[in-house]
Amino acid sequence: MSVLRRYEMNQREFAALCDCSVQALANWELEGMPPPERPAPKVAYYDIQVHIPWVRINKWTVGADDRALKLKAERELTEMERDLQQGKLMLVADAEKVWGQILSGIRARLLSIPPKVGALLGANLSVAQRSEIIRRELYEALDTLSNPAVEVEEPEPEERPSIRRKPGRPKSKK
């Protein structure tokens, strides 16, 4: 399953979708494209709900090459939307929630080992017996952790925002 970061794409992915270079994206920003989110230096995320409509209106014209690019981008956008609806993509927030639950379970299980082992270890046991008790408890904990019981709640289809706009070109004002 791929992870979709809030319907955003990095520069390389967005440039590939638009069939242009990363430098072209920088030039488009100078031409008025909304700036991407920049969480860190040299990192940019393009919100496909904001940037694709701008590209559709300002960069895709009626030329044959442009129509082919538009069709390619529309096809990829449709695939992405279908994958999202089928559960092949998941939002980062959902992935973080699941990983948080898994890591919380791992932490709790590992922290339960010392008190349990401490009660089993006695002063009259040999080093080999102590090692065997510790090894057995660690393997039991790892075996338990190898099958995490985390349930993922699927959002209702209505909760997922559409990433598509109405087909066709916007009407020109006369």
Q: Which pLDDT belongs to residue 83?
A: 83
Q: Which amino acid is at 84?
A: L
Q: How far apart are CA 164 and CA 74, in angstroms?
A: 9
Q: Which pLDDT belongs to residue 52?
A: 79
**Residues 6 or more apart in contact with residue 39 via CB below 8 angstroms:** 45
Residue 164 lies in a domain: no
Residue 131 lies in a domain: yes
Residue 156 lies in a domain: no
Q: In this structure, are 108 and 140 located in the same domain? A: yes
Q: Which pLDDT belongs to residue 173?
A: 56
Residue 162 lies in a domain: no
The 10s digit of each residue's pLDDT in 2-38 is 555 556 778 888 888 877 888 888 898 888 888 888 8
Q: In this structure, are 113 and 59 located in the same domain? A: no
Q: In this structure, are 132 and 100 located in the same domain? A: yes
Domain-terminating residue out of 54, 87, 120: 87
Task: Determine the structural domain holding residue 141 and report its residue range.
Answer: 93-145
Q: Which pLDDT belongs to residue 98?
A: 85
Q: Which pLDDT belongs to residue 75?
A: 86
The 10s digit of each residue's pLDDT in 64-75 is 566 777 788 888
Q: Which pLDDT belongs to residue 112?
A: 85
Q: In this structure, are 75 and 120 located in the same domain? A: no
The answer to whether 70 and 60 have CB atoms below 8 angstroms apart is yes
Report residues of the chain scoring pLDDT below 50.
158
Q: Which pLDDT belongs to residue 166?
A: 55
Residue 24 lies in a domain: yes
Q: In this structure, are 76 and 99 located in the same domain? A: no
Q: In this structure, are 82 and 8 located in the same domain? A: yes
Q: Which pLDDT belongs to residue 62?
A: 55
Residue 107 exposed, middle or buried by CB count within 10 Å (0-12, 13-18, 19+):
exposed
Residue 167 lies in a domain: no
Total domains present in the chain: 2
Residue 132 lies in a domain: yes
Residue 72 lies in a domain: yes
The answer to whether 54 and 65 have CB atoms below 8 angstroms apart is no
Q: How far apart are CA 61 and CA 64, in angstroms?
A: 9
Q: Which pLDDT belongs to residue 58?
A: 79
Domain-terminating residue out of 70, 87, 104: 87
Q: In this structure, are 113 and 73 located in the same domain? A: no
Q: In this structure, are 82 and 97 located in the same domain? A: no
